[in-house]
Amino acid sequence: MGHIFQKITFMKILKNIGLTLFIVANLLLIALLFLGQYSLNKQGLQQELGSHSHFEMVLKEFEPMLGNTYYSKFEFISQIENNLNEVNQSILQEYQIIEEDINRIVDSLKQTDDNLTYQKDVIEHSFPGNNELSAFKKKQLQDYTGWLEGRQFQTEDELRTQLQSTVENINQGIISQMGFSQNRIKNLKYSLTKAANTGVVANKNFILLLGTIGLGILGSLLYILPGVNLLPGIKHNHIFHSSNKNKGIIGIVVGALLILFYIILYWYPEYITEWVLLVDPLSLWLKNAPASQWFFYGLLYTLAILVMGIRMFIKYRHSKYHIIRTSSVMFFQLAFAFLIPEILLRLNKPSMDLKNIWPLNYNFFFDYNLEQLTTSGALGTFMLVWGIVLALIAVPVLSYFFGKRWYCSWVCGCGGLAETLGDPYRQLSDKSLKAWSVERWMIHSVLVVVTIMTIGTIYTYLTQTSTLMGVNTYRFREIYGFIIGAAFAGVIGVGFYPLMGNRVWCRFGCPLAAYLGLVQRFKSRFRITTNGGQCISCGNCSTYCEMGIDVRWYAQRGQNIIRSSCVGCGVCSSVCPRGVLKLENKDEKGRFGEPILIGNDGVKAIN
């Protein structure tokens, strides 16, 4: 008895040590963000902006910064943004079309045509000379006023008003053509901040990588491994009294930190350049190129699935099904989502996550991606065909035989993170009918939107036009990428784990889950069968269903579960104390049959 007590005490100590190491590692990781020093030199500036047509103007604006050391990241980044905006203003002031230019066009037209019939050739006479500024203005005006050719104006004021409106559009586009767009400024703030970092992280990145991320991994494993001494399977263990697992203060803080991380990652990466510098050695070793914020994120994402996958092995070691599917998502994330794309980049080949399928991979049919694949030889052609085959053939065929679980619970990286890192929060999914109604409307709406966007994108690629039925397809996909691809899939999809459960994205936003679910619901061999006569209404199945399905409602009636949202994770079956639930792939006959009760009195259908 004393031996058992000592063992339990030792395991508790080990868990506490692991938790302490994990917290220390994360605090150190956060502290690194405030230890940077930034000194920008001409060489670094030229490396990032040397190809810009107005580099001399840029150099003049940045000259006061060169050689100075900044200890405040916020001051340094703010100065970069101010300098680039000043360059934009100088370019705009030099190249904008002014009122005097409009007057010259009007005067020239009055001299050549008393009826004020617009002819764009008049622009040549209005801007004599062949200098760069004159050539730029002539080209812009000719391009933007071509649609006015032959149009007769009743008065000079009417002509002038039309030209002024056109000139406003031209001037608004000067920055994107000649200067720095907001997106370009955002990218330059990141790249210049990373290039100028001369602090301790830049000089000791590998050691600090081991002391932060490495220490965090060690702490996590020390916290997880003592679980081998517990019985396998889910245990309630006061989960609804837990501050972390039941939307308490710890859960709210964790959720807030995750949301903040994703906001910074997507829209303010210049503030986490120290973290990116940490993984430069790994990036250089793997793909022979410096790391980006996406390499850092991909590494964290993969490590989270691998480490928490070990936790899944320990927790569900009594179930062969869970061991295999957890191994599967770990393998696909490590190999297909992380290593293979990076190795392809090292080989100067087109790179993509080969398991990512349209419409989840919504940019697969974007013009730049199609252009890259069609001009990259045999490998690019293979990737193009592979992506189309996955979306049009593999999804319906595999979903027919195995349901959506073949992807959502065995392959998908989003599902992999939800099943591993998000597993402690699975009981937080809303099981109400209202939530189910909202879920169906939202997820199928996203599928419709991404389908329309893709049609527009393909039309744009084939016709080389930017509009379809008056809608700018480029703007459409930018909005979709911001709202769905970033805010929903990232910020909400992961940040809301401790608030709404681990499958928020899969339930409410993933268009591929909607596509798979439609096949599973109406044309599939997959179902979860139930034996209502054995159900004791304990509610374990409903509690731990991450997709918000009230499994008990079906089990009590002996009714098959064929909901389109079910990802076939099998946890409901694993937590059932009576063996009521069973995942099956059989013929379609009987999937939609009447509920059946099997009990001591025999078998009977429920009407």
Question: pLDDT per residue over 62-101, tens digit each?
Answer: 999 998 999 999 999 999 999 999 999 999 998 888 888 8
Look up residue 245 and give its DSSP letter: T
Domain co-membership, 406 together with 491: yes
Number of structural domains found in the chain:
4
CA 320 to the chain's CA centroid: 31
The answer to whether 410 and 322 are in contact (CB under 8 A) is no
Strand-pair partners of 221: none
Over residues 570-580, the pLDDT tens digits come to 999 999 999 89
Does 357 share its domain with 334?
yes
Report yes or no: 359 and 512 within 8 Å, Cβ to Cβ: yes
Please, are residues 499 and 401 in contact by the beta-carbon 8 Å criterion? no
Question: Taking the complete model, does pTM exceed 0.85, yes or no?
Answer: yes
Question: Does residue 473 sit in the same domain as residue 533?
Answer: no
β strands within 321-443, DSSP E: none
Residue 204 lies in a domain: no
pLDDT at residue 69, as a whole number: 93
What is residue 111's predicted lDDT score, i.e. its pLDDT? 76
Q: Are residues 236 and 224 in the same domain?
A: no
Residue segments in the chain with a per-residue pLDDT below the cut of 50: 607
Predicted pLDDT of residue 594? 58
**Lookup: tokens for 243:** 């501050």
Domain of residue 86, residue span: 37-198
Distance, in Å, from the CA atom of 190 to the CA atom of 74, rounded to the nearest integer, reads 12
Q: For the segment 341-389, what is each residue's pLDDT rounded down to a tens digit?
A: 999 999 999 999 999 999 999 999 999 999 999 999 999 999 999 999 9
Residues 179 and 324 in one domain: no
Biggest alpha carbon distance in the chain? 110
**Domain at 594, CATH number:** 3.30.70.20
Answer yes or no: do 287 and 436 share one domain: yes
C-alpha distances in Å from residue 171, one per residue of 25, 174, 530: 51, 5, 67
Q: d(Cα 321, Cα 402) in Å, to the nearest integer?
A: 14
Backbone angles phi, psi at 152, to 5 degrees: -100, 130
Q: Which of 146, 177, 198 is the last residue of a domain?
A: 198
Residue that finishes a domain, picked among 523, 548, 579:
523
475 touches 453 (CB < 8 A)? no
**Mean per-residue pLDDT of the chain:** 90
Pair 363, 496 in one domain? yes
Provide the β-strand partners of residue 472. Answer: 467
Q: Examine the domain organization and report whether 250 and 396 are in the same domain.
A: yes
| Alpha helices, H only, 63-98 | 73-95
Nearest residue to 564 via CA among 508, 513, 489: 513
For residue 331, tell me if it sits in a domain.
yes
Do both 509 and 569 map to the same domain?
no
Given 466, 496, 523, the domain boundary residue is 523
pLDDT at 51: 81
Cis peptide before 359 (omega within 30 of 0): yes
Amino acid at 436: W
Distance CA 263, CA 449 (A): 24
On whether both 14 and 132 belong to a single domain, the answer is no
**What pLDDT does residue 607 have?**
47
Instruction: Identify whether residues 481 and 533 lie together within a single domain.
Output: no
Q: Are 119 and 225 in a shared domain?
A: no
Say if CB 354 and CB 347 are below 8 A apart. no
Asked whether 326 and 420 are in contact (CB, 8 A), the reply is yes
Q: Is residue 187 part of a domain?
A: yes
